[in-house]
Amino acid sequence: MPFQEQFHLQVQPRPGTKADDRLADDVPESVKRERNARLLEAQTVICEEDNAEFIGQTVDVLVEGPSKMAQKQQKRQPAVAPHPVPGVELAEDDADGVVALETPAESSGSVGGPIQLVGRTDCDRIVVFDGNPRLAGSLASISVGDCTATTLIGRIVTREVQHAAVVELPVV
């Protein structure tokens, strides 16, 4: 069974330790970097193949909240934007004849529009999808359509509600 993740680092000599006194560091830095790159590349291939098995499946995801990408986009945009309201009487010192009201920016996701959310499956896979931020803390069914080595990419699955025909019962 392959590893889902792998953490590794280059070993460096630590002055004052027994190993530093007994063993010489005979591996050149270029070889260390090349070995590290090969390990990372091999792990990336393993993770991509492992995540690709989820494509076409619907998985339950515990929604954590906005993804890092969505949070970065929200930071770049102002939280509020001035919104002129024509035809409002103002004090004499206002020259342009409009009032600036603060309203949430259209693209911040706070108006109710979808933003990129992140969550995890029951097997700890990271999943991103567009949805309403109010889904945070809930379970959502996500259809996986693509993946990277670290992330499943999907769409939220909506359930259609079929309403039965209204039947009037006699009053007794």
Q: What is the DSSP string of 107-167?
A: GGSTTS--EEEEEE-TT--EEEEEE-GGGTTSEEEEEEEEE-SSEEEEEEPPPP-PPPPP-
pLDDT digits (tens, 9 = 90+) for 16-39: 887 777 777 788 889 989 999 999
d(CA 38, CA 142): 33
For the chain, the structural domain boundaries read: 1-52, 55-156
> Do residues 123 and 107 lie in contact, with contact meaning Cβ atoms separated by under 8 Å?
no
pLDDT digits (tens, 9 = 90+) for 62-86: 999 998 888 877 777 655 544 455 5
Q: Which pTM was predicted?
A: 0.62
Which phi and psi (to 5°) does residue 43 adopt?
Answer: -65, -35
Say what the pLDDT of residue 167 is.
58
